[in-house]
């Protein structure tokens, strides 16, 4: 099998395993993440729906334009946070997951709505292939931490982020031991594909990819970035997930939980 197919099979396995374990008949409100791995989760949900193995009242809350379309196309019932503020469980992809289940998300620029939905959920379950399983964030995902920013502020935010220092900008343990590997972040405005200029998110904002090297203190980095005026959301999800499923190259899947 080609390495591409191995990756896709691994994504599918992780997604199927998580849906089979967690989306039981008593789940009424389900958060549906975004990205290519979530497509497989939706396929499994569609199969369970057709077999009558889902709650007849199941409502799915999307996290992006993409996930909304997937829900509708699968024949699942679409809902929103206004009517369903308490989500039983959310299943979502990840760009990288560390040993404590902190994650980087937003490779598809969906992290704002994903984080809102995850935060409204009793449980967040991540699904990914073997390339995303790391000891430390930034080890394998080297494209940087996605940071959504309001267009009005993007130059000012870029400057503030670039000026962050891996020790001086932090308090507590991180001030002596470095919150991230690089001395200062490298900030890249994410370019659009097939459009001149930057990516524009589902919320009308821009995205920076912030390269930090290895991230030793994800919670502090998340907080410091989030506190910069003009930053809308940061693609570090620290202390949110309770379980992550990874598909392996050998056709099996395993789960890590806290």
Ligand X SMILES: O=C[C@H](O)[C@H](O)[C@H](O)COP(=O)(O)O
Give me the active site residues, please.
114
CB of 41 to ligand X, least distance (A): 10
- Indicate whether 95 belongs to the interface with ligand X (CB under 6 A): yes
Within 163-222, which residues bind ligand X (CB under 6 A)?
none
Spatial contact of 214 and 178, defined as CB atoms under 8 Å apart: no
- Indicate whether 62 belongs to the interface with ligand X (CB under 6 A): no
Nearer to ligand X, 175 or 189 (CB): 189
Nearer to ligand X, 127 or 178 (CB): 127
> What distance in Å separates the CA atoms of residue 28 and residue 26, rounded to the nearest whole number?
6
- Indicate whether 13 belongs to the interface with ligand X (CB under 6 A): no
Q: Where does this chain touch ligand X (CB under 6 A) — which range of 90-98, 155-163, 174-182, 248-256? A: 90-98
> What distance in Å separates the CA atoms of residue 187 and residue 198, rounded to the nearest whole number?
13
Cβ-Cβ contacts under 8 Å for 205 (sequence gap 6 or more): 112, 148, 149, 150, 151, 232
Q: Where does this chain touch ligand X (CB under 6 A) — which range of 52-60, 80-88, 107-115, 193-201? A: 107-115
> What distance in Å separates the CA atoms of residue 210 and residue 188, rounded to the nearest whole number?
6
Using CB under 6 A as the criterion, which residues of the chain lie in contact with ligand X when the complex forms?
33-37, 92-95, 105-111, 114
């Amino acid at each position: 099998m080609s390495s591409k197919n191995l990756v896709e099979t691994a994504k599918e396995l992780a997604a199927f395993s998580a849906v089979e374990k967690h989306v039981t008949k008593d789940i009424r409100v389900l958060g549906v993440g975004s990205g290519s791995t979530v497509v497989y989760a939706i396929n499994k949900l569609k199969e369970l729906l057709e077999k009558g193995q889902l709650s007849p009242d199941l409502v799915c809350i999307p996290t992006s334009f993409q996930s909304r379309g997937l829900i509708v196309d699968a024949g699942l019932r679409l809902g929103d946070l206004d009517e369903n503020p308490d989500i039983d469980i959310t299943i979502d992809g990840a760009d990288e997951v560390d040993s404590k289940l902190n994650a980087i998300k937003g490779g598809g620029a969906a992290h704002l709505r994903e984080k809102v939905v995850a935060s409204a959920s009793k449980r967040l379950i991540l699904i990914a292939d073997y390339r995303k399983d790391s000891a430390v964030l930034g080890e394998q995902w080297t494209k940087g931490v996605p940071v959504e920013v309001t267009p009005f502020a993007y130059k000012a935010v870029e400057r503030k982020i670039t000026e962050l220092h891996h020790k001086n900008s932090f308090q507590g343990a991180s001030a002596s031991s470095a919150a991230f590997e690089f001395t200062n972040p490298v900030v890249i405005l994410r370019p659009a594909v097939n459009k001149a200029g930057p990516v524009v998110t589902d919320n009308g904002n821009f995205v920076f990819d912030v390269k930090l090297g290895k991230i030793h203190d994800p919670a502090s980095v998340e907080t410091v970035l989030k506190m910069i005026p003009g930053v809308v959301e940061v693609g570090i999800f620290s202390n949110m997930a309770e379980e992550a499923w990874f598909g392996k190259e050998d056709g099996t899947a395993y789960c890590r939980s806290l």
